[in-house]
Structure 1
Amino acid sequence: MTSVSLPAQAQQALSEFQQYKSWEQRSRLLLRWAEHLEPFPSEAQCETNRVLGCETKVWLTAHQCKGVWHFQASSEARLLRGLLALLLVRINGISATELAQLDVQDWFQQLGLAHQISSSRNNGLNAVIQRIQKLMQAPV
């Protein structure tokens, strides 16, 4: 488990997912969380912002303000949008140092989703995480 503090929205997500024990219930909740993503500008849906390594199209942007990072993402696939929403509520608003300490797999484990994510979706999430790390290393 990581020592990085849990943002309020992430705590809300964790509370919601811990209420459900079955994958069917959690998958419905995951689809509802897809609606939590911020609207992604259509002009940002370009190859420059595309995450390679995902089966479906995924776009990701990042900016840093006052020492914390804010990421925005979207996907063509609703289930993946739900996973992205859960990832972003966990990582948005934390510093690069905190983000480097964060165990994303543990986050999805806490949500009860780690064992239910298919290998292809897991590969896609790993591609998103790698892209996040790359964006954080780029000059601001």
Structure 2
Amino acid sequence: MGFDMATQAFEDIAETFEFLDDWEDRYRHVIELGKAFPPLDDAFKVPATKVEGCASQVWLVPTIEDGKFEFAGASDAMIVQGLIAILHALYAGLEISQVRAVDAPAQLARLGLDEHLSSQRSNGLRAMVARIRDTAERAAG
């Protein structure tokens, strides 16, 4: 059974996107989300945290505390930093079992980003989701 309920943080983003009809406005909003996302310490920008398959540089640092999933991340591209912030809203604070059940493509489709992102960006987004899922699966044993 899929975990259909999104976090409140993601619902808030989805709601905002519903108000923004224009792709330019949505794009700007993604960048704003990225700017508001906490920066990643340079010490974490190492090969082990780098996500391959992204056109830009992307680092994800997942952590699991008390069975809850959390992650920090960064990118050198502003739009990708925004996508990281959106993924954070989608996943942060979930139980590990829930992380694996999130239908990320379906949730992200609600934002209407997929038809506007370049194929490289879409591949990068998929790579980030895969990294998150892999981490949760390893944590779940």
TM-score w.r.t. the length of structure 1 is 0.91
What's the counterpart of residue 30 of structure 1?
30
What's the counterpart of residue 116 of structure 2?
116
Matches of 2:113 and 2:52, distance apart in 1:
23
Matches of 1:121 and 1:23, distance apart in 2:
16
Q: How many residues align?
A: 139
Unaligned residue ranges in structure 1 (runs of 5+) = none
Question: Conserved in 1, the CA contact under 8 Å of 2:99 and 2:136?
Answer: no
Note closer, same or farther for the CA distance 1:21–1:3 as it changes in structure 2 (3 Å cut): same
Task: Tell me by how many angstroms 1:3 deviates.
Answer: 3.6
What's the counterpart of residue 72 of structure 1?
72
Task: Tell me by how many angstroms 1:69 deviates.
Answer: 0.4
Task: Tell me by how many angstroms 1:74 deviates.
Answer: 0.5
Task: Tell me by how many angstroms 1:133 deviates.
Answer: 2.2
Matches of 1:139 and 1:92, distance apart in 2:
15
Matches of 1:104 and 1:65, distance apart in 2:
22
Task: State the SS of the aligned residue for 1:70.
Answer: strand
Q: What is the root-mean-square deviation of aligned Cα atoms in Å?
A: 1.6
Kindly, what percent of the aligned residue pairs are identical? 24
What's the counterpart of residue 96 of structure 1?
96
What's the counterpart of residue 129 of structure 1?
129
Question: Conserved in 2, the CA contact under 8 Å of 1:40 and 1:72?
Answer: yes
- Residue 109 of structure 1 aligns to which amino acid in structure 2? A
Matches of 1:62 and 1:3, distance apart in 2:
20
Task: State the SS of the aligned residue for 2:107.
Answer: helix
Matches of 2:59 and 2:47, distance apart in 1:
8
- Residue 79 of structure 1 aligns to which amino acid in structure 2? I
Question: Conserved in 1, the CA contact under 8 Å of 2:49 and 2:60?
Answer: yes
Matches of 1:3 and 1:15, distance apart in 2:
19
> Is 1:8 aligned with 2:11?
no
Task: Tell me by how many angstroms 1:139 deviates.
Answer: 5.4
